[in-house]
């Protein structure tokens, strides 16, 4: 049996009782560690689970996971993911590969950013399609998110922006020489996302949003030090939300209760960087 177990968003104790029971039954425990990250070290998880946890990078999940599926043919194996069991399409692909091999799969669900974003005070019923925002480079500035935001804003819907995470990415030297060498981990900030979004609006010029458009950022959602701040998109370029992970919501039409909730998260003077936010361009 392959157990696909959502771990939630905060720390090792956010796993559900059902998920913990399954982990303790399993002979092997794997942790997918590239689509998101938990707010604690893997050692904290091992202490709670009372067994070793193997972390899996992108290469393992996409190319080496067949060995995990082979194990699951004859024993119980836990494949743990941050957030919900199906938080990323990668996890659906894993299930399809398991079914092809005749492996029984049992998911254990949990909270993810897709529902925890309601902590901003914005109603989940009023969200449109979520978008992903990637780090810009000098020569590559993907802007496909702009069209989806435009469609959302036509209907007055809010847009959840999922911000880029780059973990264990090979260096250029590694790609050229075939060696194992990785870039430092990078996590996009809400300030960088706001800056890139406004740059795209300036280049596209369709008036989908602007510096005065309201937005709300969330950082470390579900953790003890979570932070939620609402302000204009122009202001967000200078807001320091602290340590990762960050997400950003572009606010659409609001109900009275949503407006009142956003007011409780209004940005404070001490939230701003002294000067400009740090540059996060990959080759900047």
Residue set of the binding site for S-adenosyl-L-methionine:
9, 84, 87, 112-113, 163, 246
How many Cβ atoms from other residues are within 10 Å of residue 52's Cβ? 10
Binding residues: 9, 84, 87, 112-113, 163, 246
User: What letters, b where the CB count within 10 A reaches 16 and e where it falls short, cover 175-208?
Assistant: eeeeeeeeeeebbbbbbbbbbbbbebbeeeeeeb
Token pair belonging to 259: 């407006």
Between helix 190-204 and helix 145-154 the angle, nearest 10°, is 80
Token pair belonging to 49: 């689970």
Tokens 């075939």 appear where?
178
Tell me if 142 sits within 8 A of 188, measured CB to CB.
no
């Amino acid at each position: 049996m392959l157990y696909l177990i959502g771990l939630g968003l905060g720390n090792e104790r956010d796993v559900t009782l059902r998920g913990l029971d399954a982990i303790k039954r399993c002979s092997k425990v794997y942790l997918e560690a590239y689509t998101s990250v938990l707010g604690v070290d893997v050692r904290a998880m091992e202490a709670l689970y009372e067994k070793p946890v193997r972390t899996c990078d992108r290469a393992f999940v996409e190319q080496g996971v067949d060995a995990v599926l082979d194990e699951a043919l004859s024993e119980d194996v836990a494949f743990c993911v941050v957030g919900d069991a199906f938080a990323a399409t990668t996890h659906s692909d894993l299930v399809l590969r398991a079914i092809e091999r005749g492996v029984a799969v049992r998911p254990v669900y949990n909270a993810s950013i897709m529902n925890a974003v309601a902590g901003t005070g914005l109603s989940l019923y009023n969200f449109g399609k979520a978008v992903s925002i990637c780090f810009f480079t000098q020569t590559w500035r993907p802007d496909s998110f702009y069209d989806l935001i435009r469609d959302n804003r036509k209907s007055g819907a809010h847009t959840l922006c999922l911000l880029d995470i780059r973990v264990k990415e090979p260096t250029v030297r590694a790609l050229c020489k075939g060696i194992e060498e990785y870039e430092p981990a990078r996590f996009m900030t809400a300030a960088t996302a706001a800056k890139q979004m406004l740059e795209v609006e300036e280049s596209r010029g369709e008036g989908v949003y602007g510096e005065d458009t309201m937005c709300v950022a969330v950082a470390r959602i579900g953790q003890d030090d979570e932070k939620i701040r609402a302000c204009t998109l122009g202001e967000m370029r200078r807001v320091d939300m602290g340590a990762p992970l960050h997400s950003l919501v572009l606010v659409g039409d609001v109900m009275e209760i949503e407006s009142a909730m956003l007011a409780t998260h209004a940005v404070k003077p001490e939230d701003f960087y002294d000067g400009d936010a740090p540059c996060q361009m990959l080759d900047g």
